[in-house]
């Protein structure tokens, strides 16, 4: 029987299963959960600041209306990203990526930075994100990913040896290992639905790491462990981490 004692756990948008997604509260709680890394989403404000938020528009996740790109960072200071949790946790600001970098410099978490550049293409989002990674010396603990593969790969223009992942929806790309190797990705980031053991093996044969999202049930977690998946990205890092620790002790 195969075992996978090195499988890592990433908190999707921070510990988003129990705290407001992509906030410093969700990031701090992810660290406390004992996970290995955090996945987060970056976009640009009107005045070109890198901020952490998932949607391009503010209406569903915050008490503001309209697009992130139409507000300056100053305007967004009073925006509450507490979303559905605001009754419980009160006001939770949208973090800047700079604030996050400063915080993550003080611990050893890995960060999967997802560049949001396929709904709206922000000029200079890659450059500004990479400048912050450089300034805080975080390169060794970063994986850049994006559904816009050109955008992810273009980060290498600013930092040639940055690790990048080809992010794809459920269903994925068949022969993804070859695709990633050919275009210079180090990692493949597929949605879990439709992913097979064979596809993971093909990736590994091509030297490509496989980090899968979003793992919120035990069947997926167990399968991916058995299949040798490198990391799972989950809304519940506490559950995944506890299960993994128990499993590793038994195997
Ligand atoms: O990076 C994995 C996953 O976060 C991609 O989908 O919509 O949650 O950003 P989404
Ligand atoms: Ca994401």
Give, for 230, the enclosing helix (H) or strand (E). none
**Minimum-distance ligand 1 atom for the alpha carbon of 13:** 4
Across the range 211-235, mean pLDDT stands at: 98
pLDDT of residue 163: 98
The residues, any chain, with a CB within 8 Å of residue 52's CB and separated by 6 or more, are 22, 40, 41, 42, 94, 95, 96, 97, 100
- pTM for the full model? 0.98
Q: Which of 50, 32, 249 is nearest to 144 (CA)?
A: 50
Q: Is the CB of 188 under 6 A from ligand 1?
A: no
Helices (H), the chain: 24-32, 73-76, 86-89, 97-104, 125-135, 149-154, 176-183, 197-205, 218-226, 237-250
The reply to whether ligand 1 has any atom less than 6 angstroms from the CB of 233 is yes
Q: Which pLDDT band, with edges at 50, 70 and 90, does 24 fall under?
A: very high
Q: Is any atom of ligand 1 closer than 6 Å to the C-beta of 114?
A: yes
Identify which of 13, 39, 116 to mutate to test ligand 1's pocket (most ligand atoms within 8 A of the CB). 39
pLDDT tens-digit series, residues 177-210: 999 999 999 999 999 999 999 999 999 999 999 9
With a 6 Å cutoff on the Cβ, whether 133 touches ligand 1 is: no
Measured from the Cα of 54, ligand 1's closest atom is 9
Residue nearest ligand 1's atom 10 by CA: 54
Q: Using CA atoms, how far apart are residues 100 and 54, in angstroms rounded to an integer?
A: 15
* pLDDT at 233 (0 to 100): 99
| First-residue to last-residue Cα distance in the chain | 9
Query: Could you give the percent of the chain with pLDDT greater than 70?
Result: 99
The whole-number pLDDT of residue 200 equals: 98
**Active-site residues: which are they?**
12, 54
Q: Is 10 in the pocket of ligand 1 (CB under 6 A)?
A: no
Looking at the predicted structure, is the pLDDT value of residue 2 above 70?
no
What is the tens place of the pLDDT at every residue in 83-118? 999 999 999 999 999 999 999 999 999 999 999 999
The pLDDT-based confidence of 3 (bands split at 50, 70, 90) is confident
CA of 167 to the centre of ligand 1 (A): 8
Q: Residue range 121-139: average pLDDT?
A: 98
22 C-alpha to ligand 2 centroid (Å): 9
**With 70 as the cut, is the pLDDT of residue 1 above it?**
no
Nearest residue by C-alpha to atom 7 in ligand 1: 54
Residue 64 scores a pLDDT above 60: yes
**Rounded to 5 degrees, what angle do the CA atoms 55, 12, 101 make?**
85
115 pocket-lining for ligand 1 (C-beta < 6 Å): no
What span, in angstroms and rounded, lies between the C-alpha atoms of 187 and 116? 18
Q: What is the dihedral of CA 7, 15, 99, 146, to 10 degrees?
A: 60
């Amino acid at each position: 029987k195969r075992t996978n004692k090195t499988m890592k756990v990433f908190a999707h948008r921070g510990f988003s299963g129990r705290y407001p997604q992509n906030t410093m509260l969700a990031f701090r709680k992810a660290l406390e959960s004992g996970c290995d890394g955090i996945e987060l989403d970056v976009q640009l404000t009107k005045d070109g600041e890198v901020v952490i938020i998932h949607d391009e528009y503010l209406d569903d996740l915050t008490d503001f209306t309209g697009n992130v790109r139409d507000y300056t960072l100053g305007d967004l200071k009073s925006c509450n990203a507490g979303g559905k949790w605001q009754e419980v946790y009160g006001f939770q600001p949208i973090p800047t990526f700079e604030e996050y970098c400063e915080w993550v410099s003080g611990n050893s978490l890995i960060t999967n930075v997802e560049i949001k550049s396929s709904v709206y293409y922000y000029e200079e989002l890659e450059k500004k994100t990479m400048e912050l990674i450089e300034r805080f010396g975080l390169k060794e603990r970063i994986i850049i990913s994006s559904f816009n593969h050109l955008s992810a790969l273009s980060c290498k223009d600013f930092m040639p040896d940055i690790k990048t992942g080809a992010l794809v929806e459920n269903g994925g790309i068949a022969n993804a290992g070859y695709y990633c190797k050919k275009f210079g990705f180090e990692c493949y980031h597929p949605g879990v639905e439709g992913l097979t053991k064979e596809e993971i093996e093909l990736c590994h044969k091509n030297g490509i790491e496989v980090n899968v999202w979003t793992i919120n049930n035990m069947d997926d977690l167990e399968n991916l462990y058995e299949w040798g998946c490198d990391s799972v990205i989950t809304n519940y890092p506490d559950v995944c981490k506890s299960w993994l620790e128990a499993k590793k002790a038994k195997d």
